[in-house]
Amino acid sequence: MTNSVLLNNIDHQNLKIITERSDTYGDNLWYAQTFPMEFKSVQAYYPIFFNKNPDTGKFFPLALFGFENKENLFLSDDKWTADYIPAMVARQPFLIGIQALNEGGIEKQQRMLNIDLDNPRVNQEQGESIFLEHGGSSPYLDKVADLLEAIHHGLNDSNDFINALNEHQLLESVTLDITLNDHSKNQMLGFYTINEEKLAELSSDILKLLHKKGYLQAIYMTIASQANVRKLISKKNARLGL
């Protein structure tokens, strides 16, 4: 549960955000949602797969950090060892809120910047200041606002991307059988990847359409990213001292 409230420079004037990375601050995630607009950065470090939201049944893309719950193999000595942290992780403890407005009798929805006051990063003693002394937004908060704007557009685009994948039957279930150097096995179920056979069967017209929308590049980046599973296995073996 979160304690999400509308951010303002009166009630939250003195708040600071701890930007260090550790289990203490909720970074012990084994995956995080991503979106096609950041695949170029994500695929350099993490495998990209797809999962289903258990409540809605809708697919979403994810960046994989480990092989089991609360295992992030990119966390070491309270540092995130990859040069890129996916936006859905980096945004914490901020999120997008929706506020209803009435303009000339027409009800509209406006995106607002919210903060989770129960997030362990939020405090008044250490970290990045949210507001300047006289109430203006700090450079840190400006960066957060830009990040959330990118997430908003990225998630909307991701919905269209998933619809295109479903329309052309480009998702298939995959089971990852991971064997480590100590002979232990990890089997990961419930993940999906690109069906390369279906991709190869698409007509040139469909491929052109996917390319025009930027989705063909995202598809190939998804496929290429899965070479990073081997890197995750190496990280896991190193953590086991093997």
Per-residue model confidence as pLDDT tens digits over 33-71 = 999 999 999 999 999 999 999 889 899 999 999 998 999
What is the reported pLDDT for 241?
Answer: 79
What φ, ψ does residue 178 adopt, rounded to 5°?
Answer: -105, 120
**What separation in angstroms does the CA of 128 have from each of 90, 134, 144, 202?**
14, 16, 11, 49
Cis peptide before 93 (omega within 30 of 0): yes
C-alpha 191/C-alpha 172 separation (Å) is 9
Q: Does residue 60 lie in a domain region? A: yes
What pTM value is reported for the model?
Answer: 0.90
pLDDT in tens, 142-189: 999 999 999 999 999 999 999 999 999 999 999 888 888 888 888 888
**Which sign does the torsion angle of CA 151, 157, 163, 168 carry?**
negative
Judge whether 161 lies within some domain: yes
Domain assignment present for residue 115? The answer is: yes
Q: Are 156 and 58 in contact (CB under 8 A)?
A: no
Is residue 242 assigned to a domain? no
Name the domain count of the chain. Answer: 1
What count of other Cβ atoms lies within 10 Å of the Cβ of residue 116? 17
What pLDDT shows up at residue 1? Answer: 66
pLDDT in tens, 97-110: 877 666 666 777 78
Q: Is the pLDDT of residue 211 over 70?
A: yes
Let me know if residue 240 belongs to a domain. no
Range of the domain at 120: 4-235
- Answer yes or no: is 223 within a domain: yes
